[in-house]
Amino acid sequence: MKPGYTVVLLLLLTAILIWGITYLSTHDRIEEVEDVSMLRLDRGRRVFLLGVQSTAKWDSVEAKELTQVEKVWSIVEVDTPRVQRLEEQVDRQGVTLEFVEFEPDSSSQDLHAYVWLDDTLLNAWIIEQGLARVNREQSHPQAEQFLRHEQEAKAAGRGIWAMPAQSASADSAAAPN
């Protein structure tokens, strides 16, 4: 094989490898909804939804691995009805992750991203449906839009903003596309 063809072939293989790594780091399938702000993905990664406030109650617990004892944070309680509602909408569907500020390496276990379910931004949908509040501690491009969605959900009495008599009807709101 001529040297010029070898270089072209190597460049082509490199481009395919880079595309594959990029695709695998941004596309996955939802395995489990751990909280309305946190999803476990098929490849063992966990994604925290940017701009969505967690409803889980966290506590530190001691974890014993071999001879070392360290404190780890663990979920001790979740808002089960909201998690179940979200699970019904996203059950085992493929998602696309959109990273802001940095592209994590594909081996990273905990990611912070916008999560797209087809053409629906899941982070925004959760807030629109009143399943969670906006996380005001995070700075990201959609922050103002998320605050508007929260105000609309509050004004419409959806999800967490519903009066007790309205909560049954709030649970039957439209699902994401």
Report if residue 36 sits inside a domain.
yes
- Residue 151 is assigned to a structural domain of this protein: yes
Residue 176 pLDDT? 58
Cα 153 off chain centre by: 20
Say if 103 falls within a structural domain: yes
* pLDDT tens string 38-56: 888 888 888 889 999 877 6
Of residues 173, 33, 52, 174, the one with CA closest to residue 93: 33
Q: Can you list the residues of the chain whose pLDDT is less than 70?
A: 1, 19-26, 56-80, 92, 102-109, 164-177
Q: Which pLDDT belongs to residue 111?
A: 82
| pLDDT of res. 117 | 86
Res 91: pLDDT = 72
Q: Residue 69 is part of a domain; what is its CATH number?
A: 2.40.50.90
Neighbour-count burial for 132-162, b at 16+ CB within 10 Å, e otherwise: bbbbeebebebeeebeebbeebeebbbbbbb
- What's the pLDDT at 12? 79
Residue 176 lies in a domain: no
- What's the pLDDT at 54? 78
Confidence at residue 170, expressed as pLDDT on a 0 to 100 scale: 43
Q: What is the pLDDT, as a whole number, of residue 175?
A: 52
Residue 123, number of CB atoms within 10 A of its CB: 27
**What pTM, to 2 d.p., does this model score?**
0.68
Residue 64 belongs to some domain of the structure: yes
Total domains present in the chain: 1
Could you list the residue range(s) of the whole structural domain that residue 79 is in?
3-170
Beta carbons within 10 angstroms of residue 171's beta carbon: 18
